[in-house]
Structure 1
Amino acid sequence: MNHNEKRFVEGVFVKLLFHKQEQRGMRLIEFETRCVRQGEIHEIVTTTHHDAKSGDRIDRVGFLGFAEMRCGGVIERGDAVKVGGKTIGTVLGFDECHYPNHYNILIATAEVLAAGDLELAAEMGIAFG
């Protein structure tokens, strides 16, 4: 992807989460892009369901935490996700079970990760793009 086609969406973690689940039951929504606004807070969730598509159930998940978006932009399926400057995976899609409060942004990773696995800290950066 040519990164000049869109802005990187950057944020910071405001609340860390440390749990994992095997039967979470999230569902990927049909849309592969979501617009986010500066100041919105969304939940960041990892999963090993790499081949999932819209409508699929997502059970194996790890919770990184909630991140505040530092700028508005578009997050889309396939975007690389960097935490603390290190790529951890790619955007798989979105679950809206808590919307309009927040989206669950699902990240396809090599293994299910929670905040402790990445030694996250509040105010650590996250970037999509």
Structure 2
Amino acid sequence: MDSGKAKRSIEGTLVKLLFHQRVERGMRLIPEQSRCVRAGEVHELVTTDHSGLSAGSTVDRVGFLGFVEIEAAGVLDVGDDVLVGDRRIGVLAGFDECHFPNHYNVLIATDELQTAATLDLVVGQRIGFAAGIVPAEGR
């Protein structure tokens, strides 16, 4: 089976933008490499330029994009490509659950810290999560 077609892509809509960065945030990636999400849930999107992340890693350097409302239920996996429209902005690096059950922080690995301002995001913009070209185990 083609790994790019092994699951449905997850789509969502930005409902709130965030514009700040932190260099001592202290998020911690949970051991689980996937999270099920339901239609209507809202989760926070956070970028990081840390490299070599794995379960249990502390993530201090973060940039905040905002909150996304999930359109239809599905599964988010570490290694998924994260898209704004058709533009790939990074790779899903893991999940922090410090605010759960309210929401997950969905961490996105990027070359540089990004915020809603640096990516020119707008409320109502579409965000996608698609199976990555390389499976998470190979990253």
Scaled to the shorter chain, the TM-score interval is over 0.9
Aligned to 1:69: 70
Let me know the Cα RMSD of the aligned residues: 0.8
Where structure 1 has 5 or more consecutive residues not aligned to the other structure, the ranges are none
Aligned to 1:105: 106
- Deviations, residues 4-49 of structure 1 (Å, cap 9, x unaligned): 1100000010000000000000000000000000100000000011
Where structure 2 has 5 or more consecutive residues not aligned to the other structure, the ranges are 131-139
Aligned residue type for 1:52: L
Shift in Å at residue 67 of structure 1? 0.2
Shift in Å at residue 65 of structure 1? 0.1
Aligned to 2:14: 13
Q: After superposition, where does 1:12-91 map in structure 2 within 5 Å?
A: 12-91=13-92
Shift in Å at residue 80 of structure 1? 0.4
TM value normalised by structure 2: 0.91
Aligned residue type for 2:121: L
CA distance in 1, matches of 2:51, 2:76: 17
8 Å contact from structure 1 (residues 29, 95) kept in 2: yes
Q: Does 1:3 align with 2:4?
A: yes
8 Å contact from structure 1 (residues 77, 93) kept in 2: yes
Identical aligned pairs, as a percentage? 53
Aligned residue type for 1:86: R
CA distance in 1, matches of 2:16, 2:51: 25
Aligned residue type for 2:106: I
Question: Which aligned segments of 4 or more residues in structure 1 are displaced greater than 2 angstroms?
Answer: none
- Deviations, residues 37-62 of structure 1 (Å, cap 9, x unaligned): 01000000000113111111000000
Size of the alignment, in residue pairs? 129
8 Å contact from structure 1 (residues 85, 125) kept in 2: no
